[in-house]
């Protein structure tokens, strides 16, 4: 079972991924691990240029393909703001299921305000929100506005739904 958690920076993708790991036994991988130091520096002032963005997503897909071979239960966290990159993932990993992690915009800004020195800060989040493409297909949503129990329940429902497919 392979889940991709995507959404705006600060919505809690890593938090949800850690819940998948801690409560449901999934291997959790943060796609940002494929960002080079140079990419992180660029992200402090702008969205990654097209060529670097394409290189980054190629690296993420390559890593996930390898992880998928080793783990029966895998969850990946990555913003994936562009539909073409979600489609690219499905070309190589057609069994992947996407979960759109959403949170109240004020809560997102509050979370991001605690990220001093992080490559994804409030300014970057605002830039990315302007270009974020909502999915064009029916995607399950996990709302991460309240407590851990609410997220756990939503994850349970998604695991059950996708295990029946």
CATH code of residue 92: 3.40.50.300
Q: Is the pLDDT of residue 164 over 90?
A: no
Distance in angstroms (rounded) separating the CA atoms of residues 1 and 111:
29
Cα–Cα distances in angstroms (integers) from residue 130 to residues 17, 34, 127, 133, in the given order: 25, 23, 6, 9
pLDDT digits (tens, 9 = 90+) for 33-70: 999 999 999 988 888 999 999 999 999 999 999 999 99
Residue 99: helix, strand or coil by DSSP? strand
Total number of domains constituting the chain: 1
Over residues 107-146, the pLDDT tens digits come to 998 988 887 667 788 888 888 889 999 998 778 999 999 8
CA distance 64 to 47: 23
CA distance 137 to 40: 30
If pLDDT is split at 50, 70 and 90, which confidence band does 11 have? very high
CB atoms within 10 A of CB 165: 7
Residues in the chain, overall count: 165
Residue 123's domain comprises 2-163
């Amino acid at each position: 079972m392979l889940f991709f958690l995507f959404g705006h920076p600060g919505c809690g993708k890593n938090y949800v991924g850690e819940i998948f790991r801690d409560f449901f036994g999934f291997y959790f991988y943060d796609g940002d691990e494929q960002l080079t130091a140079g990419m992180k520096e660029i992200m402090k002032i702008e969205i990654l240029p097209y060529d670097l963005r394409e290189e980054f997503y190629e690296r993420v897909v390559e890593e996930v393909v390898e992880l998928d071979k080793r783990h029966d239960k895998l969850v990946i966290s990555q913003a994936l703001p562009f539909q073409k990159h979600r489609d690219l993932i499905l070309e190589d990993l057609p069994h992947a299921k996407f979960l759109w992690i959403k949170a109240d915009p004020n809560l997102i800004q509050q979370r991001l305000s605690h990220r001093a020195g992080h490559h994804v800060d409030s300014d970057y989040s605002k830039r990315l929100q302007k270009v974020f493409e909502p999915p064009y297909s029916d995607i399950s949503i996990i709302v991460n506005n309240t407590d851990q129990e609410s997220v756990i329940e939503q994850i349970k429902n998604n695991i059950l739904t996708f295990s029946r497919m």
